[in-house]
Amino acid sequence: MAIGLEVFPEMVPIAGVRLGSACAGIKYKNHPDLTLIEIAPGGSCTGVFTRNAFCAAPVTIAKKHLKETEPRYLLINSGNANAGLGQPGIDAAIQCCDSVAKNSNTASNQVLPFSTGVIGEHLPAEKIAAAVPELLNQLSDTGWQQAAQAIMTTDTRPKGYSETIQIDGCPITITGISKGAGMIKPDMATMLAFIATDANIEPSLLNSMLLIAANKSFNRITIDGDTSTNDACMLIASGQTELPEISDPSCPAAEKFQALLDRVCEYLAVAIIRDGEGATKLIEVVVEGAIDQSEALSVGYTVAESPLVKTAMFASDPNWGRILAAVGRAGVSDLDIEHISIYLDDLCIVENGGRAESYREELGAAVMQAEAVKILIQLGRGQHTEKLWTTDLSYDYVRINAEYRT
């Protein structure tokens, strides 16, 4: 359904970054399934990756190459995850890097591979190699939308965001794309995100800034509680701006850039939830008054991943008892239910350990009709707050995943 994603936004080009897309025929004929991102010399790149023990071959190779040198190219294919294949998967990922290197006069370890699609099927590296010359020929600083389309799997819409701000009188832009619609759960999800900026950021600071932003966004989304083998979020800084290098995390320029990066990552992460497989509702879960982050996230994810809560949301059924029960089984020690309040948007449904006196079923039903619903849980135990996003659970989610390989 792609809640609120009807129009792809205008994407501001990033100086020093070009993108090209092509059809390699990996899963379907005449379907864009391959993207190449070129980073001009002098740019830097950092990333965060899945923590799944069965991480895909491209994740292994990308992490290795990223440690060895500054990358010049990012190669992304959809239609095949190149995961669960052992050494043949590693060999296929390296073969893809070699093909880009051969055609661009760069070293193989300057190419980072990324894949998304079905797990356990051999990657047709020869098809990808054959398409590399076209990828290089198609490189353009305006290729963001085509790239967003080429990396899609069960997504129904391409996802992108771009924003420019002034830092010390100099325009700074961040532009990015993401993909993902199912198998979404930190850390991170079956998602890919590629974000670029023209800012000049000291490499170690660039990495820490991405970690901060990802932990507020990509690591706060869940559709079905499944963590993928392939997910990655990459941040490129081309450095092609007049603003001097940002190296001090506490300086005003760094703080402004971090705030912008946080917004871009949150938009791209929530866009994945908006396009969740079979989703009809965007659900924001906010937990306030927790003792610490762990406690807040435990409560938040227990509610967000409850099949009973999610199906009630799909039915627009204000069955608030399902939310209350999920909070109660979240594993919080010494939980005093007398201090807990629960809201649907601004409507109080639980207070003082039970149903709010002011609550009426018709009021809850009215709130649940909306495409976006907020569940606010106030624990009354501390000062910590966490926010995350999820979807409802519809008939179509089952159909899409039952038919995924057919």
Length of the chain: 406
Measured torsion, CA atoms of residues 213, 214, 220, 224, in degrees rounded to the nearest 10: 160
Residue 375: what residue type? I
Task: Indicate if 164 belongs to the active site.
Answer: no
What CA–CA distance (Å, rounded) separates 198 from 9? 19
Residue 279: what residue type? A
What CA–CA distance (Å, rounded) separates 194 from 178? 6
Contact 269, 220 (CB under 8 A): yes
Count of other CB atoms within 10 angstroms of residue 108? 16
40 CA to centre of own chain: 25
77 sits in which H/E element:
strand 73-78
Choosing from 190, 197, 222, 391, the catalytic residue is 190
Residue 365: what residue type? A
Contact 143, 18 (CB under 8 A): yes
- Strand, helix or coil for residue 221: strand
Contact 43, 238 (CB under 8 A): yes
What CA–CA distance (Å, rounded) separates 126 from 318? 53
Strands (E), 93-141: 111-116
**Structural tokens at position 386:** 């966490």
Which residues are the active-site residues? 190
